[in-house]
Amino acid sequence: MEGSFSILLDVNRGPTFVCGGHEISYSSDMSVKESDYEGDLNSLPDDSNVVQRYLLQLRQRAQKDIIDPRDRLDWSDSFLIRFLRARDFDVELSLKLLINYQRLRRECPEINANLHPSSVLGLFQNNYHGVLRDRDLSGSRVLIYRIGQWNPKDFTAYEVFRVSLITSELIVQETETQRNGLKAIFDMQGWCFTHALQINPSLAKLIVSVLTDSFPLKVRGIHLINESTFFRHFFTMIRPFLTDKIKQRIHMHGRNFKEALSGYFSKDILPHEYGGSGPSMEEVCREWTSHILQSEERLTQLSNCPAGDEVTPDPETEPDPDSQSCISMTNQQPHNT
C-alpha cells in the first residue's frame, strides 16, 4: 500500500526500514566513514550521534589493543573524547595517542606518581607558573612559565616538569581546551648554566614526547621571551628531537617581546609585565595556585591511577616492580596536530 512503513528485524544485519518499496538497512557497527557529516566534528557535543559512532570505534579498538590487560579502563565518553579531539577524530591516531598516554602514566612514576600540589607547592608560591583568566581569540588556553622563578637547588627539572603535567591534567578536562588547545609563553629571564645542567637528554626526549604524541592536548604555539644567546645555543641540542610541526610553532621574541607578543595575543588578556592590560602575573599565579589546591582530590586520584586518567587497577594484580623506565616510551613515532 502506498505510504506503508514497516521494520524487518534480522539478527545478522540488524533492523531494516521499508518505506514505499525502498529498504534502508542500519548496522550498529557502521563505519564512521559511512557518515555523511561534513561539518566540524570538534564543534559537536559529546552526545551527538556522529561523535558517538567515533567513540564506539575508539572504545572497541582500545579494548582490543589495550597495553596491559591487568588494567581495567573506565571507557567513559568524557575520557575518550579527549583523544579524538586531540587527533581531529582520526581513530587510528587517537588510539596511538591513548596507548602512548597510558605508557607515559605507567612508566614514569618519578613524574606521575605524585601529582599532589604539595610536592611542588614552593614553585607555585614563587609565582613560577600561571594560566591566564581568559583565552586568546582562537579559544586556546594561555599558560605562562617564568624560568627565573625556578631555583634548581630547591627543585629538580623533573619536579618542574610535574608542574606542567598537573596543569595539563586539569585543563584537558575543559571542552574548549580539548577543541582549541593551548599556547605557552616561556619567560627565559634568569636562565643560566645550572638550569641547563638539569635538562639531560632523557628528560628532553620525555618533554618532546609529551608535546607531540603522549598527551591529549593540542599545542598551538610556544613563545619564548627574554631568551639569551646561551639559551639559543642550548636549544639547538633539543631542536633535532622536535617534529617539523612543533618547530613551526615555536617563536623566539628576544628582549623586545612586548610588541611581538601583541601580534599573537590581545593585550587585554596579557599581564602588564608582558605588554598587556590584564591582571598582573602575581594575580595570575595566585589564582591558578588556588585552583590547583582546590583540585587536590582530583590530582590525588590521578596519582593513584598509574595507568591513566580513568584506570582502576585490578585489585588481584600487584604492580610490576621491574617496570621499564619512562625513557622507553620516548621511542614512539611522534605526531602533533
Region of 87 (left: φ > 0; alpha: ψ -120 to 50; beta: rest) is alpha
Q: Interhelix angle for 49-65 vs 77-86, to 10°?
A: 90
Cell of 323: 617496570
Q: How far is CA 261 from CA 145, 232, 251, 269, in A?
A: 15, 19, 10, 11
Cα(226)–Cα(224) distance, integer angstroms: 7
Residue 29: the pLDDT is 44
- The class (CATH top level) of 48-110+306-331 is mainly alpha
- Fold match between 48-110+306-331 and 112-298? no
Residue 103: the pLDDT is 86
Q: How far is CA 333 from CA 82, 121, 202, in A?
A: 20, 34, 16
Residue 291: the pLDDT is 97
Pairing of strands 71-73, 182-187: unpaired
Residue 12: the pLDDT is 42
pLDDT in tens, the chain (337 residues): 445 545 555 544 445 545 545 444 444 444 444 445 777 899 999 999 999 999 999 999 988 876 555 555 667 899 999 999 999 999 999 999 999 998 888 888 777 778 989 999 999 999 999 999 999 999 999 999 999 999 999 999 999 999 999 999 999 999 999 999 999 999 999 999 999 999 888 888 888 888 888 999 999 999 999 999 999 988 888 888 888 999 999 999 999 999 999 999 999 999 999 999 999 999 999 999 999 999 999 998 888 764 444 433 333 333 333 333 443 444 444 555 5
Q: Do the Cβ atoms of 161 and 207 come closer than 8 Å? A: yes
Residue 74: the pLDDT is 61
pLDDT in tens, 172-188: 999 999 999 999 999 99
Domain 112-298 is classified in which CATH homologous superfamily?
CRAL-TRIO lipid binding domain (3.40.525.10)
Q: Do the Cβ atoms of 88 and 337 come closer than 8 Å? A: yes
Residue 303: the pLDDT is 81
Residue 318: the pLDDT is 37
Residue 242: the pLDDT is 86
Residue 265: the pLDDT is 97
Residue 190: the pLDDT is 95
Domain chopping of the chain, boundaries: 1-30, 48-110+306-331, 112-298
Cα(335)–Cα(96) distance, integer angstroms: 9
Alpha carbon 142 to its chain's center: 13
- CA-wise closest residue to 195 among 252, 151, 162: 151
Exposure letters 163-197 (e unless 16+ CB within 10 A, then b): bbbbbbbbbbeeeebbbbbbbbbbbbeebeeebee
Cα(290)–Cα(159) distance, integer angstroms: 19
Place of cell 583540585: 295
